[in-house]
Chain A
Amino acid sequence: MKTNDRKKYLQKRRKNKILVAVTQIFILIAFLGIWEWMANKEIIDSFITSQPSRIWATLTNLGANDLIHHIQVTTYETVVGFLLGTTLGIVIAIILWWSNFLAKVADPYLVVLNSLPKVALGPIIIIWVGAGTQAIIVMAIAISLIVTILENLNGFLRTDENLIKMAKTFKATKFQILTKIILPANISTFISSLKVNIGLSLVGVISGEFLVSKAGLGYLIVYGGQVFKLDLVMTSVIILGILAGIMYGIVVLLERCILNSKKFK
């Protein structure tokens, strides 16, 4: 039996939740409504600001703009850059954990590379690997790699010393300490790397596409801007937002699967 207080508490909680959701939806609708209304009344110039109905028209007319193809290109580049950047980053972090000497040597380079704006490497990357998809993927890797190395190495080094000592009392080899202690103890580090990297890879891909590309959402945005097709620019930005949300959602789903199966709480 629920007590009265309990009922009240649950009711209040639900009410609060609904209130937040309603407000969120209201803000979105009001924003779109005002935008549309002001454009129709010509208070703002819809040539420069575009307007929701025109964005919707562009969106529903996917075929004409070849939008699906552009979305596919950006998604492909992001996923490849994300997977390569994350894997490479974790592998390098493992190597640096293994060799204290290498970690010390690499330290100042990592610090400098980490603070260097990777977009500045754009022209170099294009000249080295060629203008095309490969340059965009390299850009995505460049942006996520160093952060991944630093964050994972840090996680490895912060693993509870006692666990390592315990393993050593059983004559564990360094490889065993890595596979049985360090890696499983850092599952949460990996997951947070994944979460950060999905966003970073998208940044890398879009800035790559700005510099060099024949397709992709970044290309559409730049192209739309150059020919003053603001409908196209706005539509691409909105799709990009949705794409980023979906990718993040997939990582969160993956996290939940891992946590449930391994009983990490």
Chain B
Amino acid sequence: MNIIECRDIHKSFGDKVALDGVSLEVPKGRIFGLLGPNGAGKTTMIRIINRITVPDNGTVLFNGAPITREVVEKIGYMPEERGLYRKMQVGEQAVYLAMLKGMSEREAVSGLKQWFIRFGIEDWWKKKVEELSKGMAQKLQFITTVVHKPSLLILDEPFSGFDPVNADIIRKEILRLRDEGATIILSTHNMESVEELCDNIALIDKARLVVAGGVDEIRRRYGNNDVELVYTDADGRHTEVLPRSVNGSDTLAQFVGRGVTVNSYRELMPRMNDIFIKLVTGKEEKR
């Protein structure tokens, strides 16, 4: 079941084509990586899903039905260019944003208090936003994105601006929200977090979809299918890279027959980073 289906989305700004017939399927309850170089059309795609921008052509389905205004309340969006009212108090600001997502004032306050306690920032409620450090403001921004319990969360570069400790907190929260049933669209340039977090990805380049699918499947597809075998014999520990073309079981049997101890046998998969660069520039990066 897909929570979001984009069908043949076209969007131009003047004579600049931002999206040229892109179709996407975001499966429910997964973390979906939306990748692409700067200016590829990711933000436009996200804004179209959010109904901030209207596509020139094509449809967006939410749970199988054309997306409507009401659905927007079920989406939580943290844009890359983010910010808050500097002169407003933290609590007021968060309540305001939550109310714009359809929560009543009381729901907003009680929901926010829980999150504030969870992040250990309950003392900030009366502070002004301008008094917060960048990392603190980012935490607040994350809370305001998720407080209305969205079933779809769109995070554009969620880790930028966080120190490693806070980035880890956010990473865990993302996984927890996924486990609780939310779908997350993650747009990032950080390929490590893509490998670590994403179940599916789509790569957009120059307004077109380049590749889409499960992360493992894609890594396998763009790898050269080598296998790494680590074994120990009388001379010690060895690592051998074998082409995948050979039959795995036969190879293993052969080694085991030689009386060595097989420590590990695993598929060698290329890093997402390399796949990204290869697909975008059309040539492989040297290791």
Question: Do A and B come together as binding partners?
Answer: no
- Tell me the A residues contacting B by CB distance below 8 Å: none
